[in-house]
Structure 1
Amino acid sequence: MGPTTERALGRRLRERPVWQHLAALVVVPLLATGAVSAASVAERTRELRTAGQAGSLMRAATELDALRRAVDSELLPTLSRNVTRDREAAAAAGFGERRAVLYLDAVNRLQLARQVTDRAVSRIGAASPAAVSTALAVQRLRTVRAAADQGTSSTEALADLYVGLSDWLSHAEEQVITGTTATGLSERSARAVNDVTLVVELTQQASREVPAAFTARVLGGGEQVRARQRAAHVVGSYRELAGATAELSSAPVRLGWAAATRGAAAQELTAAFGGETREPGRLSGPQLLELADASARRDRDLAQLLESTVDTAVAAVDAEREEAAVRLRTTLLLCLLVLAGALAAAVAQGRWLAGALRRLADAAQRVGQGELVDVPEGGPRETRTAARALAGAVAGLRQVREQADALTRGDLAGALREQPLPGPLGEAVQASVQQLVRAVQQRDRLQTELAHQAAHDPLTGLPNRAAALRLLSGALERAGRRGATTGLLFVDLDGFKAVNDGAGHAAGDEVLREVARRLRGCVREGDSVGRLGGDEFVVLVEDVTDEAALVELGERVVAAARRPVHVAGDAATGAAGRSVRVGASVGVAVARGAGEDAEVLLAEADSAVYRAKSRGRGRVEVFDDVLRAELAARWDLQSALREGLRRGELTLHYQPVVDLADGSLAGYEALARWDRPGVGPVRPDVFVAAAEASSLVCDLGRWVLREATAQLARWREERPCAWPAPGAGAEPTVAVNVSGRHLSDPRLLEDVAQALQASGLPPHLLVLEITETVLVDDPLATAHLQQLRASGVGVAIDDFGTGWTSIGQLPTTPADTLKIDRSFVSSTDPGRRGLVALTVHAAHTFGLRVVAEGVEDAEQLRWLREQGCDTAQGYLFARPMPAPEAARWQRPAEALAV
């Protein structure tokens, strides 16, 4: 070994930790202690395994005994069947004329006995110690059964085969029990196993008494002598064993033994076999067969005795196993304690020598990683001096950390900011504090503003719809717990649209802000006011005393909203300030007790405000049983309509639209019809109104779009009789009514595009009919109409004149056609007629076509032609018809004669 190698080896030895040197000193004693401990643990483990094997063997012995008893139970019916099968043998055995009956009885008993044997075989699993013996026994049993079923073997031969198989099983059972005692059991467990052995022997001899006596009775000649000797031996052995009670070690087993050997069945057999030990074969064959039931009952008693004896033995073995487990755990604990003690001594020695240096090194390493830990002082003087120096450095770093914590908390006035660290480091930290605090304050302000915006209406500052529903849900939960009453007022402004149209949206916004302020002034402290959207507000009132107080509050709200609102002028347009008026309709709903739902209560208040508007506006209505019934009926109708759409119960009728210039067919209006099963036809205004109260109207609109476009596409191919010849003029269109809710649905554009694509219909042949209010209520609806018109789809304003659209707004209205309401067409009032004429003229001025609705007589038609109306529809031409009738429709020449 060279000098360089020696130096490297010495360096490695010097750099080893102290614990390695100490471990070398204690490793030999530890190994010796471990070897002794391992040997002791192995011995205790063997004891535990032995006890477990003994329990398993005892259960295997029980399984074999059950199989052996089942095989013995087959012997008597087998011999009886064999004897009664032959007339001469049956007569010699004393069966006489009962041979046939006894033969059938023997066959039935044999079948039942074999089933018992098969079940006993199936209970012995493949993992059982008795599995191998069972497999061999099954092979022999098949041979015995085959010999018995063939009918060629003598009764003596069959008896020998069955007895031989029973003896073989008894021998296998004895071997299993012997294996149990050979496992090294304690004396107590061995006595319990001996009890099992005695009971097994008793059951063996008992189950053979009647078959042995029967064999001795039915055999003749020299075979009978041997059979009688065997029967005498069996009966005598049973008598001897039955009196061996004193050899049993367990008192419960002795009691069970006595009960089994002295029971009614045992007494009956003892009386019957009283002389069999001296005169075997004394009983006749039929008498012996009659004893079969008594023998079976005694066998069951003995089987129960065996089961309880085995349970006693297994319990003893289990107790011994538990004791072995306790000894094993105790040994393991002692060994671990010894090893732990030896190891603790070595560790204590190592800590005593190297603990101080290791703790100091660990503290220095953690401080280097940023952990400001306490530095322990220990060990020799030099180690203590180094520890005190490191502790001083940690104290300075802790002051820096406290400064940073104060910054994180935003503690601007804290002591740490007033007493910063000295020197350049303190100045840098102080500047960082100021900058971080400013950033945190700005972030908190932004978070507060965003949270407020998410829950409040930006125009009025009131809680928005989502926040209002959360407030309502919380109030209902509190009321449910206290058993209080909660009230909800639904406030819908009257005439707000007129203000928006006449004074502008800025004035409308000012009206909404002022109404919000007045509503807050009407309620108590603790009540809540929210804006649902548009001109709809809600007032939440908790702990309501009575319904009259809510009505009184509603009347105050109506009075407050009725007062004039001053709106400022517009400097840009030069418009002067002025006063405007709106009104309010209020619906009241009351929730009493627990289980109320916020959405349901809001729907009830909405229904009440709808009734208030329908009864003249500017009033308060309370949701009552009548409205509740109407709401329930509407929900029922909605459910039936949804199911009707799914089942295809709805159809479309088509009303022709006639060109007044030449009487040609201008198009059709598609109208939904519903024949409700079990109810009959439902009026369109009823089921459409129910659909419009929910998103169901969108589903209805999609269905109408698909059906109407598909029908018009089919007509284009089939060319109905009313259809103009190719090249003769413009093609007829189909008009589909679209609700405001569907028009505002984000999927509307996709619905129209899909319907056109599926049908192949050109976009310019589809007309969407909308009401005037849609154009004002939702800006998204207006945007959708503009996009649809850009794609080529036509737009018609339905029932024009009944809403709020003025003639002055026609230039900016996203429509192609005006449909004048039937109330104007049928009126004879000069003012209304003048309005119709003005509308036709204004529409033509701005490039819109006009459709007159509800034309019912020739005078109306003549007058409309005089005014220059473009097209018309009504009963004068045709009522709405199913598609086949509409295809066959012919225009009435007399009505359209030019």
Structure 2
Amino acid sequence: MSSTRPMAEHAARRGAPLWLYLTALVFVPLLGVAGLTAVMVRSVVVDADSAARAAAAVGAVAQLDAVRSGVAHEMIPSLSLTVIEDPASAAELGVPVEQVATQRRLTLTLLQQSRGVTDDVLGSAPADPARSSALGGAAREVAELRAHVDAHDLRVDLLYDRYLALLDDLGSAQQEAVAAAAAEQVPVATLTATRDVQLVGELVTAAIRQMPNFFGAQLDWDRSADFRQDWQADWAAYTDAQQVMSQLSQAPLRAEWQEISTSPEVTTVDGVLATQAGGTTAAPLPLPDLVQLVIGTSTRDTALTGLLDSAVERARDLAAADRDRATGHRDLILGLGAGLVLASLLGALWVGHRISRALGLVADRAERIIQGSLVDVESVGPREVRTVSRALASAVAGLRRIQHQARAIARGDLSHPVLDEPLPGSLGQLLHASVEQLVSAIRQRDSLQSALAHQAAHDPLTELPNRAQALSLVTAALHRGRRSGSMTGLLFVDLDGFKAVNDGHGHAAGDEVLQEVARRLRSTVRPGDVVCRLGGDEFVVLVEESGSERDLQGLAERLIGSVSEPITADGSQVRIGASVGIAVCRDADTDADALIAEADTAAYRAKDRGRGRAEMFDEALRLQLSARSEMEAAIAAGLAAGEMRLHYQPVLDLSAGRLKGYEALVRWERPGAGMVPPNDFIPVAEESSLVCELDRWVLHEATRQLAEWRVEAPVEPGEPEPTVAVNVSGRHLADRRILQDVADALAASGLPPRLLVLEVTETVLVNEPVAFSHLAALREQGITIAIDDFGTGYTSIGQLGNMPVDTLKIDRSFVASTQPGHPELVALMIRAAHTFGLTVVAEGVEEVEQVEWLRGQSCDQAQGYLLSRPLPPADAAALRRPTVGAVPADR
């Protein structure tokens, strides 16, 4: 590049200078006058055309701003109506149910008004090719968006993005119009008036952009933080634009701005927005207040748009005056020079031909460049034309470099050397800085996407693929195995004695053990094998092209030996073992879930046969799985046939010795088999989606029964009402429908949410992040949340303060245990729970001494066979204020 530039400069200097051609006119004075006349006329024509274009561009600014303002004011009512039509979204925005209809009518009124304004603006738009494309596209997009809003068939986040994209397109067109007006060759007065239009337009643009991003920040969705950040940036731009208003060149505009900025319409809205922009702790506005803010913002934006109209009108008047003045000069010059042009025509022909040929070539190249063809520009003609050609060639070279940089970014080649080559001059430095920022943003985005993808597919503790990724990997391996005809093996590794490590050394030590086990498993398998953690202390090893079942057996024994070696955790050595189940793909119908289930079943048999061994999934286990499948079908049929029953075990207040509530326990009265024990069918249901259906039935039946008791035998005024506790499975709690299921049960029964207790296990809270958020949402509705069987999972006492729970139910194994240290552990659980403001329930109380000891430790409530067995509804309803410690006759 450096060697070609001097050559181009030398070639430019070889041509004759332009003054040599012009001196020929000295011999013919009239030709000189004619030439001067032509130059003057051309200049005046250019000035007139420039003034006309400036006036048109300024008019386009006003028209586009009016359309953009109308769309922005139409956007918020449209989004509000979409949110109001969704009951869940309306509830999240704090709109009381009784006010939804009122807010809907108000929002519809605002929507109709804003649509009318937008239609008026679009209908009054002149047929101007300069803006017909932007306005026509805006009209079509507005029509489509209105159809979606009226049909309520588009999610609010997608509707929001499309409105925002439309505003950005109109804003870009408006900025192009302002730039076009400012680029014209007009007098200083017109230029300063155009700059005033630009300043006011930036203020109006900043004002219009506020409400869309502010509204997005008010919504409770996963993008609210991004919109909060964008809104604060828009607010900063708006306040900056207000400061710049003092630079307006026209005193009437400054006076009008002063009047608008101090008006109540502006100060009130800006005050509310300033409060919201003051920090991240500002509470979101309820929808009614948000609608009122939209109304105030519309008034404020109308006043600002009026200011812009004043600036535009002044600039257009000046541009029109410039055009008229230039036209008058043109006519005068043409009249004076018309007689001389004929005399100078012959001399000008030769000069014109010489210059026009060179300029024509440059113009042709310039036209092709404008059309997108970056062609080479030859240096011909006079020196000045050569200078222009050289400058144009330099511009083409810069554009080519920008093109190469854009192509490198488009194909993702962010390390290409062309991205490090800046263009000359300040503009080149600015463009290069923009490219560097864009490359940095893309790299950061790619890094974040990779990190998020890794987190979604891997266990955070061991960095192994998680259950979802394991299913995906096994499915892919099965497909490859079917195509190649090779056998695919799966080893299910279930740790032995891991609970003892948690109980004896704490959960931090348990985490260290799991991390060490993951390392040992990875180091034991072949390079192509994959180790995954399903959750808790369960791992799987995927073996492709496993060879034979004997090879898998040998690998399983090596894994058991590796895991069984002593492990240092929390400063001491611990020992655990492993039971391994082996399953292989024998037919094309086996899927990932089935293969994992087969390996899991084999691992259970390994545990039953003494642990620390490996078992192969065989026909006997296949029959066991078949029996489980039959049980699932029977459970589904039993639910449909109404064979399920609820028994209610009382929960007693230890201090007052009276009934506190009931725990609803499901029973199955199966025809021909009698009452099926819960342990025979609930585990089967929990391994399938049936548990969700069973949970829904229990929720509806338990809330209905308690509501019926409340009507039949209301409590005395001032007395506490009994509650009903329902166990919710981890699978159901992780289901997105859990919130609606609970709401439906409460609505159908009419039971107040405060009388419903949902019991979940510790494992659910640890292994299901989605369940954690669902519990928090249920608790916000007034429902009590209880941790069931506390002490048997992976939750540490220190985590209780951060969990969305109200009650802690200590597992019966701790309450009834006589092992050294267990009573102290129970006492510690009670004190820790009270420290965090939780209620404590002791489960499995079967001895009078246990009741007295629990009362001495300030335990709040208790349940167990000593107090009462689970009772049918009729017997449970008859129970009134039992004496603590009394043993029912059927004990």
Class of the TM-score when normalised by the shorter of the 2 chains: 0.3 to 0.5
TM-score for both structures, normalised by structure 2: 0.47
Structure ID, larger Rg:
1
Higher relative CO (CA 8 A, sep ≥ 6), structure 1 or 2? 2
